[in-house]
């Protein structure tokens, strides 16, 4: 497929807000693509070059991309900057200048038409270039690529490089489109989503779907692969201990730690760790370099919670203290200040054998046999009960110990990646004030309001947050109080790189709540509130009463924020 063809499809996708229409357009793209290029098309359509768990960034600031545009169109970089200040979108700037300077490209346009794989290869080469002089080589290489693609292609290349593709869909829409490509509807979504959750590489999944005749069926054959993340199992919500026992029967109950979720892959000459949003974090955990010595297996995938331990008292630390370990620099210093203990509570794979379909009690027995805790690992404690009173007592005991309560697991349940079924339920609060919320919400920051008075010094005076409905985000609260000065400053620092002049396509916002500045869906925050009320203005049709920021959730991505359906369970 020519890159110019893919760019025209991208224009169609950008031009529609209909989820169904996006699915149909993507399905058309996938039908036209070959098995050799469909994986790369999936990555490019998400503004990436590699699967989500791989880290490959262009590391080119906006000004460097402007230099590349200037070099490509034969203009001074100040002229490009002037256009950018006027338009506010580097992609549109690149497109406009290519159109305005068409004669400059007459000679280049006589050459070979670039295919998707040509452009993908050039982009990947630019991203992988490092070392002395790499910035100049990146700028020159990008300029050559701008020369080789048409105006529409230049728009999307520029947006990919600066990380703002703005097509407005996620991996789930691609999964729908793969089903549509095969069957003309979304009937395969459940199977394909399951396969993606087991081996979270959308490009590899697309190649497999493209190559496999429908009658063969491959989804049930997808097994965990060492070094490739599995989507962690997540907890549903039930309000009371009685409800949990009635719905789940006999359960295994474990502490709910206030740490960061870590899935650990250990093999011969291999160690990789992943967060709950599939980000690789291996370099952040030097403690695990000797982890293989605490495991009696050649290869294993463990599910755990990493919690900071006070080096003086030995007590577990809070999430805010633990999360400082999630950094890219000064890791050795951070590991001395906040040493970690990994509380292991499940095993998903041992010596080439998947354990996902094994019941919880069997996985627990295997875990006890292979785990040999010494310094880094600790087997999470567990009780087994079918008595609501015992469950409630254990929950309150954990709260008194400073933990977040209990996690309740169906004892004969399989390990189900993602938040599906009622195998795992979190138990945080049971008795709340009348009308109060039994849990916090994870929300995405959608925009902010500049504010007046003292707040102008922070750069914002209130912010808008939303919950998820499929790939869309619906507003549920405008928050202007309850933050410390430090939190206001941190919030502004965090969202600066995600500001947008236009409303992201995934948002539904009532005109009375339109913010002064839109924010791309990237930052997740944990919000507490006194209760919920019906709202004619918020697009979730509900509003949080007295909302307040609890903390920033760096361990979660926008696809993991609280859904509209879950909001009803919290109330």
Environment class of 429 (CB within 10 Å of its CB; exposed 0-12, middle 13-18, buried 19+): middle
**Spatial separation of the C-alpha atoms in residues 299 and 282, rounded to whole Å:** 16
Q: How far is CA 363 from the centre of its chain?
A: 27
Cβ count within 10 A of residue 569: 14
**Spatial separation of the C-alpha atoms in residues 527 and 488, rounded to whole Å:** 14
Environment class of 538 (CB within 10 Å of its CB; exposed 0-12, middle 13-18, buried 19+): buried
**Spatial separation of the C-alpha atoms in residues 33 and 111, rounded to whole Å:** 23
322 three-state secondary structure: helix
Q: Which residues of 292-317 are buried (b: 16+ CB within 10 A; e: fewer)?
A: bebbebebbbbbbbbbbbeeeeeebb
**Spatial separation of the C-alpha atoms in residues 294 and 347, rounded to whole Å:** 14
Catalytic residue among 122, 147, 256, 556: 256
**Spatial separation of the C-alpha atoms in residues 281 and 263, rounded to whole Å:** 10
Largest Cα–Cα separation, the chain: 80
Catalytic: 98?
A: no
Q: How far is CA 53 from CA 19, 26, 156, 201, 561, in A?
A: 25, 23, 23, 8, 19
Active site residues: 256
């Amino acid at each position: 497929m020519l890159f110019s063809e893919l760019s025209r499809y991208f224009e169609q996708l950008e031009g529609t807000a209909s989820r169904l229409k996006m699915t149909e357009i993507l399905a058309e793209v996938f039908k036209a693509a070959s098995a050799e290029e469909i994986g790369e098309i999936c990555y490019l359509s998400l503004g990436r070059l590699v699967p989500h768990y791989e880290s490959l960034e262009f590391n080119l600031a906006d000004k460097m991309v402007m230099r590349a545009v200037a070099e490509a169109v034969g203009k001074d970089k100040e002229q490009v900057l002037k256009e950018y200040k006027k338009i506010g979108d580097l992609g549109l700037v690149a497109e406009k200048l290519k159109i305005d300077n068409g004669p400059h490209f007459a000679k280049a346009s006589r050459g070979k038409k670039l295919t998707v794989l040509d452009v993908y290869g050039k982009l990947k080469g630019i991203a992988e270039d490092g070392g002395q002089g790499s910035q100049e080589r990146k700028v020159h290489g990008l300029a050559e690529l701008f020369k080789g693609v048409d105006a529409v292609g230049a728009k999307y290349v520029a947006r990919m490089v600066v990380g703002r593709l703005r097509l407005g869909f996620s991996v789930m829409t691609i999964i729908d489109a793969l089903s549509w490509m095969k069957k003309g509807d979304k009937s395969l979504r459940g199977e394909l989503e399951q396969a993606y959750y087991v081996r979270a590489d959308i490009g590899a999944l697309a190649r497999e779907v493209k190559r496999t005749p429908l009658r063969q069926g491959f989804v049930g054959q997808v097994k965990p692969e060492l070094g490739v993340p599995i989507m962690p199992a997540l907890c549903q919500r039930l309000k009371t201990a009685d409800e949990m026992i009635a719905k789940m029967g006999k359960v295994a109950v474990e502490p709910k730690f206030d740490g960061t979720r870590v899935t650990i892959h250990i093999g011969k000459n291999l160690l990789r760790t992943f967060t709950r949003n599939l980000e690789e974090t291996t370099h952040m955990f030097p403690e695990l370099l000797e982890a293989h010595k605490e495991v009696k297996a050649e290869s294993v995938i463990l599910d755990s919670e990493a919690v900071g331990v006070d080096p003086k008292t030995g007590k577990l630390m809070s999430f805010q203290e633990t999360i400082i370990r999630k950094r890219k620099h000064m890791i050795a210093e951070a590991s001395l200040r906040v040493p970690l203990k990994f509380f292991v509570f499940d095993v998903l794979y041992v010596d080439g054998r998947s354990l996902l379909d094994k019941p919880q009690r069997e996985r627990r027995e295997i875990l006890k046999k292979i785990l040999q805790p010494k310094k880094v690992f600790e087997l999470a404690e567990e009780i087994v009960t079918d008595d609501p009173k015992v469950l409630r007592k254990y929950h309150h005991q954990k709260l008194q110990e400073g933990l977040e309560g209990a996690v309740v697991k169906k004892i004969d349940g399989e390990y189900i990646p993602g938040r599906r079924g009622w195998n795992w339920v979190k138990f945080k609060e049971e008795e709340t004030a009348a009308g109060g919320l039994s849990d916090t919400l994870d929300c995405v920051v959608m925009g902010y309001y500049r504010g007046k008075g003292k707040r102008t010094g922070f750069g914002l005076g209130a912010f808008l947050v939303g919950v998820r409905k499929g790939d869309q985000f619906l507003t549920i609260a405008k928050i202007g109080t309850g933050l410390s000065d430090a939190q206001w400053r941190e919030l502004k620092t965090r969202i600066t790189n995600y500001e947008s002049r236009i409303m992201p396509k995934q948002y539904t916002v009532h005109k009375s709540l339109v913010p002064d500045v839109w924010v791309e869906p990237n930052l997740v925050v944990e919000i507490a509130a006194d209760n919920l009320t019906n709202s004619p203005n918020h697009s979730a049709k509900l509003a949080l009463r007295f909302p307040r920021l609890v903390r920033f959730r760096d361990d979660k991505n926008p696809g993991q924020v609280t859904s509209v359906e879950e909001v009803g369970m919290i109330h």
